[in-house]
Amino acid sequence: MRVVVTDPIISRFADLLQETAPGNDWEFVANLSSEAQSAAIAGAEVLVCAKLGSRDAAACTAGFVHITGSGADRVAVADLPVETVVSRTSHHERSIAEHILMTVLAHQRRLLSVTEQMRSGTWPSVATEPSTPLHRTLDELTIGFVGLGGIGTEAVRLCTGLGMKAVAVRRSPQAGSVLEADLEWVKAMENLPELLAASDVVVLCLPLTGETRGLMGAGQFELMRDDALLVNVSRGSIVDEEALYAALQNKAIGGAALDVWWDAPIGIDAPESVSRLAALPQVIATPHHSGHAHQTFVRRATEIAQNINAFKEGLPLSNTFKRF
């Protein structure tokens, strides 16, 4: 089969892909012009991509399209032929859960501001400056998860294992989970105000949909504790950017750890929202890399290749995307 790969990140694992799914005609076209990529996409039998515009999707005749991440919002799935099978992959749960834990600790220990003070030649501690706040240990904190899929579930396991209390809201609170015993409670999304009021840390780990766009706005920030940390590892647009900026400026909340943003970079030039928010001292800013562990991509490449083998042999595929 002719397998076309347009994603530059998964292309770094070309050897693993080809070793796991041998006997195919692999084309790695991420470094080609957009016109050359479009031509390759139109002739692919299998397409492996992170992004796919409407025009290329409409011209694509591949029987199988494999998205290289868990989100399908950058792939024009609706414009693909009806008969095209689509799969996704994830394997970033552990890496993102560790990122969440890291930001909680960094916020509690004021890691960024203390480092900046030390760099300036000052020594801030309760021993030298009586107004220096004392930090809290993890077993004093309640962490609230908005969304409880694979990322939230893994983060609950890590955080409660270190003594944190955990609560959650999700679309289907009645859905069973072996980890629910580790949570103080799991309730429906309509109970979001209760979670915001109860949590020292609020973690957004739910997909971007029409219902979740702008979910966190001025009203929600007013419900949060004034020392609470907002962690967003989902999509930028779930949060109202202006409302978050105002809440941080006015110290309505304690801080934000943002790994996702409202606009994409141009090359390595960050969007304006990054410059504005990252300038605030209580913001931890990262370039959408919370899931970028080596293990993540090894496992993604392996699953993609195994799915290509299964498609070729007419066997069931993993993580197929329900389009209709």
Percent of the chain with pLDDT over 70: 97
Task: Write out the DSSP string of 137-202.
Answer: -GGG-EEEEE--SHHHHHHHHHHHHTT-EEEEEES-TTS--TTGGGSSEEEEGGGHHHHHHH-SEE
Residue among 161, 126, 131, 128 nearest 143 (CA): 161
DSSP state of 310: H
Structure-model confidence comparison of residues 74 and 173, the more confident one: 74
Q: Is the pLDDT of residue 153 over 80?
A: yes
pLDDT of residue 178: 44
pLDDT of residue 321: 87
Residue 116's contacts (CB-CB under 8 Å, 6 or more residues apart) are: 281
pLDDT of residue 174: 66
Q: What is the mean pLDDT of the chain?
A: 95
- Set out the domains of the chain in order of their start, with CATH numbers: 2-91+294-313 (3.40.50.720), 93-285 (3.40.50.720)
User: Model confidence over 283-309: pLDDT tens digits?
Assistant: 999 999 999 999 999 999 999 999 999
User: Model confidence over 210-229: pLDDT tens digits?
Assistant: 999 999 999 999 999 999 99
User: Model confidence over 19-66: pLDDT tens digits?
Assistant: 999 999 999 999 999 999 999 999 999 999 999 999 999 999 999 999
Measure the CA–CA gap between 145 and 151, rounded to whole angstroms: 10
Label residue 61 exposed, middle or buried (CB < 10 Å: 0-12, 13-18, 19+): middle
Q: Is the pLDDT of residue 141 over 80?
A: yes
Residue among 320, 294, 315, 308 nearest 91 (CA): 294
Task: Write out the DSSP string of 191-233.
Answer: GHHHHHHH-SEEEE-S---TTTTT-B-HHHHHHS-TT-EEEE-
pLDDT of residue 150: 92
User: Model confidence over 223-258: pLDDT tens digits?
Assistant: 999 999 999 999 999 999 999 999 999 999 999 999
Query: Could you tell me whether strands 229-232 and 201-204 are parallel, antiparallel, or unpaired per DSSP bridges?
Result: parallel
pLDDT of residue 179: 52
Q: What is the pTM of this model?
A: 0.91
Mean pLDDT computed over 3-31: 98
